[in-house]
Structures are given as structure tokens and as C-alpha cells.
Amino acid sequence: MPLDRTRPRVAGSALTTPHFLLLYAAMLVAAAGNTALQSVMPAIGREIGISDFWVTVSYTWSAVLWVTLAPFWARMSDRHGRKKLTLVGVGGFIASMALCGLVLLAGLEGALAGGLTFAAFAVARSLYGSLGCATPSATQAYLASRTRRSARVEALSALSSSFSLGTIVGPALAPLFVLPLLGLSGPLFAFAAIAVVVFAAILIGLPDDTKPRHGRRAGHGAAMSYPSLASTPTGASVIAATSPKTAKLSWKDARIRRWIVAGVVAGHAQAATLACLGFFVIDRLALEPHGSEQSIAIVMMAGAAATLAAQWGLIPKLRLVPRSLILWGALIAAIGLVVTMIANDLYGLVLGFGIASLGFGFTRPGFTGGASLAVPLQEQGGVAGVVTAANGSSFVFAPAIGILLYGIDPHWPFAIGATLLVGLVLWGRRALDRPADL
């Protein structure tokens, strides 16, 4: 049968718009579901009566698995069918969210003890961390293999924007899914159900790529950072997916070391404070756990919107160089953390976290761009891998450290985070002030 050329297509690609939307939906549901869970977990933990530390550890365990296994799935996407691995990722998300929902519902109803609930929750979350990370690399590879090289950056950037959109959609929808019979576990079942629809649509509607009828262009996927309010895409995965495969770079490489250090410091400050945010909202506003998810969602949505405003609006308009993005971003983020720390009402929390997120929205593209500009074109793939790893490293220890500090004093994570950022500004003025670093 001849190729149907009447259907709208992605610019520069053999992929039709409906097929692109299937890939976009796979990415969007994974990001939105994860950030929705992020917004209700503090309330669930308090409702069940488990310590804030173990709530955080059980949740961030999947992030550690994501960071560890994402490069593996990126390699697998180049060897096996991309549609098949996309389904593996979405299927892992469905299984994880459904099992987590069942476990948390049992805990909320008193059928499981608190400790057992969160131990089982951590096991169920491991499915998302270990399998869900297959989705970004597989969808990228599927799109890249059907898109001309000259059009791949634009096409892949459009695809990766799904993660950014998900950071707003998730917290926005989560309170709507807190249903009478399911309670706080409702959002997990809701996003699992949405993902089932996406899975079925991909299974039925996305062409198989193992035996293409019209040939297949070369293209590969790349690992993407863990979907979180603290990790909106910076473009590193797009660079990796559109660059020739080269030898791996080390973060110790003198050309990029300073930029990676800046990114890791800012990322740890952000991840540590984000881990405490939901608990801080509950405590500062003296909220009951059930019902607090609405206020938490409002604060998180404000932060996500501010980050997107920085990356989609202000950075292109201001045209700041990487050094300026890091220095101004760190300073703005430090101010925002201080405002959050001293806020006494919802308006103050929204304002403070919004300012902090605006600053972090500058620092992440700043260190990504600085590292990219520090190496020649043929090494862009290598530096993108280092940047993605640096982004992921923030989720390994920082959330646990942040919540431990919160247990000592609720102000400490924000105060120490702001101090780290001010230190980054002072250090960066000297370390990043070199012509080769821009």
C-alpha cells in the first residue's frame, strides 16, 4: 500500500502528527503522573503516620534507579524496536502506579502497618525507576529515526517539552483525583488508567519499527533526567540524541569541570529543598494531611510555571550567556529560598517558591550551555551524557539530606540551600570568569 501523504506530518519527518502525539503522550503521562504523586506523598505520609524521612526515601528510591538504568535503556533503544521499548516504559509506569495505589490505599485504610506500607511502596516504585526510564530514550530514538538530521533538534525539543508540561499538569490534576472511595491514593489510580489508554493507543496506532516498510533513517535515543519539578529538561538529551556517538567524557575534564560543579551545587540545593516543600507547606500553614494536597499543588504549580517562564520566555528574550545565567539564577534562587523560609501564609509560600524556581530555571540551562560551549561539535554527545548524569546525581542523596535537616529544624534546608547558592555566586564570579567559558 502506498504511503498516505495526505495526513499532516512533523516538519522534516516521515512521522505523521498523530503518531508524534502518541510519543508525546507517552512522555507526558510519565512526567505528569510522577509529579502528581510528588504533590500528594507528604499528605499520605502524614495521614499514615510514617516519618517524613522514610516517606522521602521510599519515594526517591525510584529516582536512583532511573539515574542508574536510563543509560542502559538508551543503549537498548538502539538495538531493539523503539515501539517495543516505549511500551515497556509505559507498562512499567502503569504497573508501578497501580501497585503503589493499592499499597497506599491499604495503608490509608489501616489494612497495612505504616512501615510495611512504605516498604511495599518502595518496591512498587522501583518498577517506575527501572522500567519507566525506557520511555524517553525509546520515543526519542523512534522520532529521530524518522526525521532528517537537519530537523531533529526542533522535533526532539518539541517532544522533550512534554516533560516540562507534565510538571504543571501533574500537580494541577492531582487534587481533582482525590476521590471519595480512594482518597489520597486516587491520583495514582487515575494516572494509571490514563496510561492504560496511552498504552493501548500506542500498541494499536504506532507503526512497528522492527520491520519498516519504507526504510529507516539512522537515529538514536539518549537518557533523560528524572521527571520532577526539580528537573525540567535542559536540552542535554536532545544534544545527545542528535550528536554522533563519541568517547565518554569525564566530569573531571578541565574544560567542563567548573560548569558541572556549578550544576551539581545548584541541583543539590534545589532537590534538597523540594523534598521538604510539601511537609513545609503542611507545617507552616498548620494543615490537616487530608486536604493539604490542594495547597501543596498550588505552590508546586507556581514553581513549575516560574521555571517554564524562565526557560521558555525570559532566557530567549534576555539572551544571557551561561555564566550570567548561573550567577543571576543562583542569586535569585537564594532570595526565593529565604522568602519561602520566612513565609507565614500560602501567598508567601507561592511567591517564595516561585522566585526560587525562577532562579533554578536559569541555573540549569546555564551549566548545560556552558559545558556544551566548552567542547567542540564532535564531543557534544559526550558532554551531554555528563550533564544528564550531573542532573540525576541531585536525586541520589540530596532529598534524604534535606529531609534529615528538616527534622532538626524546618528552616535548615532552605537556609543551607540559600547559603550554598550564595557561595556558588561568589565562587562562580572567579571560576567562570574566563573567555573560554563564556
Count of domains observed in the chain: 2
The domain that holds 139 is classified in CATH as: 1.20.1250.20
Same domain, 428 and 292: yes
Same domain, 219 and 264: no
> Which one is predicted more confidently, 217 or 61?
61
371-393: pLDDT as tens digits: 878 877 667 667 777 777 777 77
Same domain, 257 and 189: no
| Cβ neighbours of 321 (radius 10 Å) | 14
Quick one: pLDDT at residue 104? 95
Whether residue 336 contacts residue 356, with contact meaning beta carbons closer than 8 Å, is answered with: yes
Confidence of residue 165 (pLDDT cuts 50, 70, 90): confident
Cα 400 from chain centre:
18
Confidence of residue 217 (pLDDT cuts 50, 70, 90): very low
Residue 56 lies in a domain: yes
Quick one: pLDDT at residue 237? 52
Cell representation of residue 178: 482525590
Residue 289 lies in a domain: yes
**Residue burial 331-348, b: 16+ Cβ < 10 Å; e: rest:** bbbbbbbbbbbebeebee
Residue 153 lies in a domain: yes
Same domain, 120 and 255: no
Average pLDDT over residues 345-369: 93
DSSP string, 195-207: HHHHHHHHHHHSP
Rounded to 10 degrees, the C-alpha dihedral 24/30/35/37 comes to 150
Residue 238 lies in a domain: no
Same domain, 221 and 266: no
Top-ranked range on mean pLDDT: pick from 54-63, 68-77, 146-155: 54-63
Same domain, 63 and 195: yes
Confidence of residue 227 (pLDDT cuts 50, 70, 90): low
Same domain, 193 and 141: yes
Cα 169 from chain centre:
13
Same domain, 154 and 275: no
DSSP string, 127-193: HIIIIITHHHHHHHHHHHTTB-GGGHHHHHHHHHHHHHHHHHHHHHHGGGG-BTTTBTTHHHHHHHH
Same domain, 217 and 284: no
Same domain, 285 and 418: yes
Domain that holds residue 59: 10-227
9-57: pLDDT as tens digits: 666 666 788 888 999 999 999 889 988 998 899 999 999 988 999 888 8
Distance, in Å, from the CA atom of 321 to the CA atom of 311, rounded to the nearest integer, reads 13
Residue 234 lies in a domain: no
Confidence of residue 240 (pLDDT cuts 50, 70, 90): low
Quick one: pLDDT at residue 81? 78
Same domain, 185 and 285: no
* Separation in Å, CA 272 to CA 109, 130, 269: 30, 22, 5
Same domain, 196 and 254: no
Residue 74 lies in a domain: yes
